[in-house]
């Protein structure tokens, strides 16, 4: 059994990790930390975990975490980079669900996240944990930078077009909607039900923190810089990401549907829907799946890709467990074959 620790077990991604790992046949959850709730039983805060997780929240302690084989950081940005180095030195694998190691340029990271990076030397050691792109590197990794929810949906949607050189990478548009859980479990006026219910708004149009992460991944696929307009929007639902992606085709000769089916034919968690389909966030809720469909409205030169995921699963904790499975030589799907919740 793999001994796993979770730093930051009281947030949405932390409890989602607990939900997934509690049913994982190859993992023992050994340590769960929380500065706020230290001393409290995990199942007292989250009764849904009764009879599955019998741990008590503890303060983050390197000595205790070093007894684990893998440690997940489900923490705010700026926490993992303070502790990851010591754990790596002790032979512990680290999977960071925050943004601390996603960007390869420490100065750019500092510009977007408003603080100096505490461990710039670790950035080059981190492997970006998108299995559909970096599977082989993840298998050998000691430090994983788990992708963000917006970047996962957008990259999986655009990649086949970019990899085949079918669209103009100077004019990419990502119009993406998210449920409120993407903002994390915190008391914030803008996230109150009375503020978000029966309302729908865009935000951070001038520049969202996930923009450089998305552009970095797409540029790597394209082999050149890309120009991306990314507009995130908040919708009054708890879970889900719906990305509507636009690109201008360079050719008329390709069967785009066949390209998508071929690209993802062996991917357990990417489902290319039949031609003409419109994916729905409810059909991936609670699962580690990404569903995609591709369209050419009126047969024109604009291609529209629709991409949906659960932001807490494929967009965070499920993807982290998928990466863990690869790191430890397990079946990639182990513990992740949960069907979506319906209705």
Catalytic residue set:
149
DSSP string of 189-251?
GGGSHHHHTT--EE--TT--THHHHHHHHHHHHHTS---EEEEEEE-S-SS-EEEEEEEEBS-
Burial 126-163 (b: 16+ CB within 10 A, else e): bbbbbbbbbeeebbebbbbbbbbbbbbbbbbbbbbbbe
Distance of alpha carbon 40 from alpha carbon 197, whole angstroms = 32
Distance of alpha carbon 163 from alpha carbon 166, whole angstroms = 8
Distance of alpha carbon 103 from alpha carbon 109, whole angstroms = 6
Q: Is 188 exposed, middle or buried (0-12, 13-18, 19+ CB in 10 A)?
A: exposed
- β pairing state of 241-248 and 228-234: unpaired
Distance of alpha carbon 169 from alpha carbon 108, whole angstroms = 21
């Amino acid at each position: 059994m793999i001994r796993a620790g979770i730093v930051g077990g009281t947030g949405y991604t932390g409890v989602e990790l607990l939900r997934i790992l509690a049913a994982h046949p190859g993992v023992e959850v050994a340590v769960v930390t929380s500065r706020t709730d230290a001393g409290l039983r995990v199942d007292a805060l989250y009764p849904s975990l009764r009879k599955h997780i019998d741990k008590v929240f503890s303060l983050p302690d390197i000595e205790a975490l070093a007894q684990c084989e893998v440690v997940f950081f489900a923490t705010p940005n700026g926490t993992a980079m303070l502790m990851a180095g010591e754990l790596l030195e002790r032979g512990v694998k680290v999977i960071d669900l925050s943004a601390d190691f996603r960007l390869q340029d420490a100065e750019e990271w500092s510009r977007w996240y408003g603080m100096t990076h505490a461990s710039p030397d670790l950035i080059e050691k981190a492997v970006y944990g998108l299995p559909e792109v970096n599977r082989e590197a993840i298998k050998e990794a000691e430090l994983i930078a788990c992708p963000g929810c917006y970047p996962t949906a957008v990259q999986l949607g655009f990649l086949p077009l970019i990899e085949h050189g079918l669209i103009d990478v100077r004019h990419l548009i990502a119009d993406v909607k998210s449920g409120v859980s993407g903002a994390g479990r915190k008391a914030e006026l803008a996230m109150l039900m009375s503020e978000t219910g029966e309302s729908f708004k865009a935000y951070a149009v001038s520049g969202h923190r996930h923009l450089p992460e998305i552009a970095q991944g797409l540029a790597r696929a394209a082999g050149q810089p890309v120009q991306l307009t990314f507009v995130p929007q908040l919708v009054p639902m708890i879970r889900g990401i719906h990305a509507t992606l636009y690109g201008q085709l360079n050719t008329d000769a390709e069967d785009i549907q066949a390209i998508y089916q071929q690209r993802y034919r062996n991917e357990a968690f990417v489902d290319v829907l039949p031609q003409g389909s419109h994916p729905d966030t409810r059909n991936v809720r609670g699962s580690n799946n990404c569903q995609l469909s591709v369209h050419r409205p009126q047969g024109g030169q604009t291609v529209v890709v629709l991409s949906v995921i659960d932001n807490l699963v494929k967009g965070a904790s499920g993807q982290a467990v998928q990466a863990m499975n690869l790191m430890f030589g397990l079946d990639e799907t182990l513990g992740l074959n949960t069907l979506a919740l319906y209705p």
